[in-house]
Each structure stands twice: as C-alpha cells, then as structure tokens.
C-alpha cells in the first residue's frame, strides 16, 4: 500500500499524462531514488496508463488493469522440477509480483533433459536458490521467496496468504494432500501432471474435489515413473497451467464447473472431462 507522500512523488514523475511508456532503466532509477520495490513503481505506472516496456506485449491480452493485478498478486509454486521450472519462468515473464517457490531438492544430472533451472554448472545446488538467481535475471520486479522444504514442512500461514497455488508435484499422495490444504485455506489450486507424451491440467476450486475424483486410487507414485518426462510435455503442461492461473488472477476465468483437461501429444488428442 502506497503512502500518500510516496503516491504524490510518483504522481509528479509518472502521472503527468504525457509519459506513456516506462523503460526498465527509468523504472529502476525511480525505485532506487524512492527506496521502494520495482514492482510497486510498475504497478503505479500502469494505473496512470504509463506502460512499462517489459509488459508491452502482454497488454493486448491482459490490459493495463490485468497487468496491474498480476504485479499485485502472490502465488506459490510447489515443486520446482520439470513443470515447476517452466511455470516459474512464465509467471515471472508475465509479471506476477510475488512468487513463493517450494522444493527440498537439489539439481541432478537426470534433471538436465527437462528442468529449466538445471544446467551443467549448477548440479548439486538447491533448486530454490537457482530459482531465485534465474528470476532475478529474468524479471527483477518479481519478489521471490524460496523454501527448501517438503510439503509437510510448509506452514498453513504461507498457504493462506496466497492468491493462487500451483501443484507441480511428482506424486499423487502429495497432490491430494496439497489440494486438501488449499481447500482448507480457501485458495484456488492449479494442478498439472505429466507422464511421457501425456499430461493433464485442472483448476481446483476450494471444496470441489476435482483431484479426488481424478485420482480415485491413492498411490505414492504415478505412471511418470515408467513413461518418463520429456521436455516438451513439461513445457506444454506448464504453459497451460500458467494460462489458467493468469485467467484466475485477472478475473478472466469462466471456469464454473470442475473439469480436467487431458492431452496426448503422441496421437494429437485433447479431451476435457467434466465432473
């Protein structure tokens, strides 16, 4: 929340009406001089119809109001692996202002085929630390907080403070557990899972039981253990998840009924199952 004095100072710099565009360098300078987060400067600029250039290509789809809502949003990404890494990247480029990343693991050679956070020089390092470094390079407006913790170690307080949670986990038991916790916290969950050429995505509203219906048999691991995780399947699932999440955050979602989207990249088939 901007103090009146800060709002007045920003008004003098940005709100004059003749400034229609804000470069990254200008935004950085203003944020430094005024000792405030870069995302706050960018959000104020959008309020005054002054477009930060980094988001210029978003506005045809999101509008200035939608972009401002993303900058003011806080989301949690649980699992920073193949799907989670792409989700992080797209959320940052879209301009989601606060992102919490949760993953207890370190990067491993087997991650190199699909995990955006992994490269040959950072193997053995914590995923949350590498996520922070990458997002700082991609979009320093994003405020990232990393928790090298398991789902069980993630506090309810952190979940309750989120506008949206992304399920990028790798086993059914934890997916169901996260869905229950989000339901209890009253937070919408965006679910995604992949296995080989196949994937599924769903928006899970509190109390709708979508994942319980999708996974009727609780199990500790999915078919991804046998079919593997190619990079293109992870990237597609992540893109679909972020598209659904952005719709929720900007009020563009028309998702009224519980449903699950399945895709089969081998046979080029798509199917939506309504519950």
Residue 61: per-residue pLDDT: 96
Which two tokens mark 194?
């992949």
Residue 6: per-residue pLDDT: 79
Which two tokens mark 218?
């609780």
Domains and CATH numbers, the chain: 17-59 (no CATH), 73-274 (3.40.50.720)
Cβ atoms of residues 195 and 249 within 8 Å: no
Which two tokens mark 274?
């309504």
% residues pLDDT > 70 (the chain): 94
Which two tokens mark 239?
């893109």
Cβ atoms of residues 70 and 97 within 8 Å: yes
Burial 10-41 (b: 16+ CB within 10 A, else e): beebbbeeeeeebeeebbeebbeeeebbbbbb
Cβ atoms of residues 84 and 166 within 8 Å: yes
Residue 55: per-residue pLDDT: 97
Which two tokens mark 247?
């719709």
3-state secondary structure the chain: CCCHHHHHHHHHHCCCCCCCEECHHHHHHHHHHHCCCHHHHHHHHHHCCCEEHHHHHHHHHHHHHHHHHHHCCEEEEECCCHHHHHHHHHHHHHCCCEEEEECCCECCHHHCCCCCCCCCCCCCCEHHHHHHHHHHHHCCCCEEEEECCCHHHCCHHHHHCCCEEEECCCCHHHHHHHHHHHHHHCCCEEEEEEECCEEEEEEECCCCCHHHHHCCCCCCCCCHHHHCCCHHHHHHHHHHHHHHHHHHHHCCCCCCCCEEEEEECCCCEEEEEEC
Which two tokens mark 115?
């995990």
Which two tokens mark 178?
């996260």
pLDDT tens digits for range 185-244: 999 999 999 999 999 999 999 999 999 988 875 554 556 667 889 999 999 999 999 999
**Is residue 1 predicted with pLDDT exceeding 80?**
no
pLDDT tens digits for range 42-81: 999 999 999 999 999 999 999 999 999 999 999 999 999 9
Residue 20: per-residue pLDDT: 85
Residue 145: per-residue pLDDT: 97
Average pLDDT, the chain: 92
Distance CA 91, CA 73 (A): 11
The model carries a pTM of: 0.94
pLDDT tens digits for range 111-152: 999 999 999 999 999 999 999 999 999 999 999 999 999 999
Where is pLDDT greater, at 161 or 241?
A: 241
């Amino acid at each position: 929340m901007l103090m009146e004095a800060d709002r007045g100072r920003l008004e003098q710099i940005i709100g004059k009406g003749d400034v229609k565009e804000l470069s990254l360098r200008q935004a950085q300078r203003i944020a430094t001089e005024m000792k405030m987060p870069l995302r706050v400067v960018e959000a104020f600029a959008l309020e005054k119809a002054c477009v930060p250039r980094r988001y210029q290509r978003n506005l045809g789809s999101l509008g200035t109001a939608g972009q401002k809502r993303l900058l003011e949003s806080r989301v949690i990404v649980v699992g920073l692996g193949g799907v989670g890494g792409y989700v992080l990247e797209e959320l940052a480029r879209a301009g989601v202002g606060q992102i919490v990343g949760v993953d207890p693991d370190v990067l491993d050679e087997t991650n190199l085929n699909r995990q955006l956070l992994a490269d040959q020089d950072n193997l053995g390092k914590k995923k949350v630390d590498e996520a922070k470094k990458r997002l700082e390079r991609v979009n320093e407006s994003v405020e990232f907080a990393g928790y090298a913790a398991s789902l069980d170690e993630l506090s309810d307080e952190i979940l309750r403070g989120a506008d949206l949670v992304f399920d990028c986990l790798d086993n059914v038991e934890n997916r169901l557990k996260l869905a229950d916790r989000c339901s209890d916290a009253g937070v919408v969950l965006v679910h995604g899972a992949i296995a080989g050429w196949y994937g599924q995505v769903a928006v899970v509203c509190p109390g709708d039981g979508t994942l319980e219906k999708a996974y009727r048999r609780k199990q500790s691991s999915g078919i991804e253990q046998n079919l593997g995780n190619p990079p293109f399947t992870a990237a597609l699932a992540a893109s679909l998840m972020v598209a659904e999440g952005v719709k929720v955050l900007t009020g563009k979602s028309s998702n009224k009924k519980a449903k699950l989207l399945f895709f089969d990249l081998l046979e080029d088939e798509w199917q939506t199952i309504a519950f």
